[in-house]
Amino acid sequence: MNFNFNPEKIDALIQLAIEEDIGTGDITTENLIPEGLRTEGNFVAKESGLVAGLPVVEYFFFKLDKGILLRQEVKEGAFVSKGDVIADVKGNAITLLSGERIALNFLQRLSGIATLTKKFVDRIKPLKTHIMDTRKTIPGWRYLEKYAVAVGGGVNHRMGLYDQVLVKDNHLDIVKGKLLYGVLTHVTAIEKAVSLLRREIKKGALIEVETRTLEEVMDALKAGIDIILFDNMDIEQLKEAVKMVKGWKPAGNTHLPLTEASGNITLENVPFVARTGVDRISVGAITHSAKAMDISLEINLSKNV
For this structure, is 136 an active site residue? yes
For this structure, is 101 an active site residue? yes
Strand 69-72 and strand 79-80: pairing? unpaired
C-alpha 174/C-alpha 167 separation (Å) is 11
For this structure, is 275 an active site residue? no
Catalytic residue among 76, 100, 208, 231: 231
For this structure, is 63 an active site residue? no
Alpha helices, DSSP H, located in the chain: 11-21, 27-30, 54-64, 93-123, 142-151, 169-174, 189-200, 214-223, 235-246, 270-274, 285-288
Contact in structure between 91 and 67 (CB atoms under 8 Å): yes
Q: Is 162 exposed, middle or buried (0-12, 13-18, 19+ CB in 10 A)?
A: exposed
Catalytic residue among 26, 210, 216, 279: 210
144 Cβ neighbours under 8 A, 6+ residues apart: 10, 13, 53, 56, 106, 109, 110
H helix and E strand count, the chain: 11, 12
Catalytic residue among 46, 82, 125, 168: 168
Catalytic residue among 38, 136, 158, 212: 136
Catalytic residue among 38, 63, 101, 123: 101
For this structure, is 168 an active site residue? yes
C-alpha 18/C-alpha 59 separation (Å) is 13
**Active-site amino acid positions:** 101, 136, 168, 210, 231
